[in-house]
Amino acid sequence: MRTLAFALLLVSAAPAVAGPGASSFDLVNGTSGAVGNVTISRAGANQWKPLNAGRSPGARGSVQFKDPDCAFDIRGDVAGKSVTWAGVNLCGAKSVTLKKDDNAGAWVDYDQ
């Protein structure tokens, strides 16, 4: 019991190590329509910056990106409607596939 308590104390006392942040990634359009006017903002910040990424269905393109944060919201127009993919974790992501379904909503798949 003392060994377990000591181990838990060591783990909880370890300093948090900051990650490298977000970096360049491939953006894949996994929706059934073209994605236009693609923008990005730190999660919840609502300060949108354009991404040079207009993608036809199934297209993949490289996004040059660097930021110390990990969580971002990505917004784009799909079939004339604005769609937000919220809380996208870009730290360590090699590619992010944007998905959308009228019933399930918007989500992303990752390749890390």
Domain with 63 in it: what CATH number?
A: 2.60.40.2890
Q: How many domains does the chain have?
A: 1
pLDDT for 5 beyond 50: no
Integer angstrom CA distances of residue 55 from 1, 2, 7, 19, 21? 57, 57, 49, 29, 25
pLDDT in the model for residue 52: 75
Is the pTM higher than 0.85?
no
Domain that holds residue 27: 17-111
Is 39 inside any structural domain?
yes
> Considering the domain boundaries, does residue 94 fall inside one?
yes
Q: Is the pLDDT of residue 53 over 90?
A: no
Determine, yes or no, domain membership for 6.
no
Is 4 domain-assigned?
Answer: no
Residue 2: the pLDDT is: 39
The pLDDT tens digits of the residues spanning 93-103 come to 999 999 999 88
Whether 7 is in a domain gets the answer no
Please report whether residue 41 resides in a domain.
yes
Q: What percent of the chain has pLDDT over 90?
A: 65
